[in-house]
Structure 1
Amino acid sequence: MFNVLEPQVCFQEVPNEIALGFVCTGCQLGCKGCHSPQSWNANLGTPLTQTVFAGWLRRYEGLITCVVFFGGEWQEHRLLPLLRYAQSQGLKTCLYTGLDYVSEQLKNELTYLKTGRYIQSLGGLGQHSTNQKFIDVASGQLLNSYFIKG
């Protein structure tokens, strides 16, 4: 099991999708300027079991088009079945990771993938200077332009 904070409906994190976002706790990257430093403490949040996850998806059925996990790749064997379940319910899947790469097995279960540590001097996805990448996994298309205003 891994813990997550209370999920939130997200409108900006996955372009053109209404996503249910799960912040996974236990991140060991600790990026300076992280927007979710509470995700560092693995003891915060509640366990995300398959049953609990299914309950959240039922609660938002017809209202969301995607599920996004902010982290969780450090427990890939626990994340994979959740991604597969979301897909079986007709939802797209997304992972935000501070890593530059994830396993092919994990990529195979994702519709979208955001990679790259947050480096304060380079900015996030909304900056041209960012090191982060938001991609459509199937096509490999870089979607960073969706985050840049103006």
Structure 2
Amino acid sequence: MLKYVNTGIVFQEIPDEVTLSVNISGCPCHCPGCHSKYLWEDTGTLLTTEELEDIINGYGSDITCVCFMGGDAEPEYVNMLAEYLHGSYPRLKVAWYSGRARIPGVVRKNDFDYIKTGPYIKHLGGLKSPDTNQRLYKRVANDSFADITSRFWSK
């Protein structure tokens, strides 16, 4: 079962959303140059649906999105949490920042409103770099996904 280390409100991870970021530990990706190496270890608190409810209720109605930062060790579990959130908190959008190049076939992408894919590759940079290999997708009409990565780039 997944564990999380910490949470926080972020404004830059998901455009136009006040996002509750849930930092999940046990990351198997181990990207060179990773800025969150503390998430490589299997440490923290179990991320159950009850724990997730407590976290969300602690932040009140200010948040518009919940973003799982990691969870690549157990993608099916992240998917279950996304499905749970949509059923229990229909007003909230659900996002997943994955370090994988592709979302595993066991994941139902339509359970997410946003999905970020791609390992961090230092010389390509993160989402703010036009050279990045990472992509952020937003679910749009007919449950297809649009690449909105360019929203991070300075004009």
The TM-score with structure 1 as length reference comes to: 0.92
Deviates more, 1:29-38 or 1:99-108: 99-108
Structure 2 distance, partners of 1:134, 1:53, is 23
Change (3 A) 1:71 1:92: same
Letter in 1 for 2:83: R
State the 1:76 CA deviation: 2.5
Change (3 A) 1:23 1:61: same
Deviates more, 1:91-100 or 1:138-147: 138-147
Deviates more, 1:54-63 or 1:96-105: 96-105
Could you tell me which residue of structure 2 aligns to residue 18 of structure 1? 18
Letter in 2 for 1:136: K
Aligned length: 149
Q: Percent identity?
A: 34
State the 1:147 CA deviation: 0.9
Structure 1 distance, partners of 2:16, 2:7, is 19
Letter in 2 for 1:31: C
Letter in 2 for 1:106: R
User: Are the aligned partners of 1:76 and 1:106 in contact in 2 as well (CA < 8 Å)?
Assistant: no
Unaligned runs of 5+ residues in structure 1 are: none
Could you tell me which residue of structure 2 aligns to residue 27 of structure 1? 27
Letter in 2 for 1:54: E
Higher share of residues assigned strand? 2
Matches within 5 A, 1:1-150: 1-42=1-42, 44-88=43-87, 89=89, 90-104=91-105, 105-137=107-139, 138-150=143-155
What secondary structure does 1:28 align onto? coil
What secondary structure does 1:17 align onto? coil
State the 1:115 CA deviation: 0.5
Structure 2 distance, partners of 1:81, 1:142, is 24
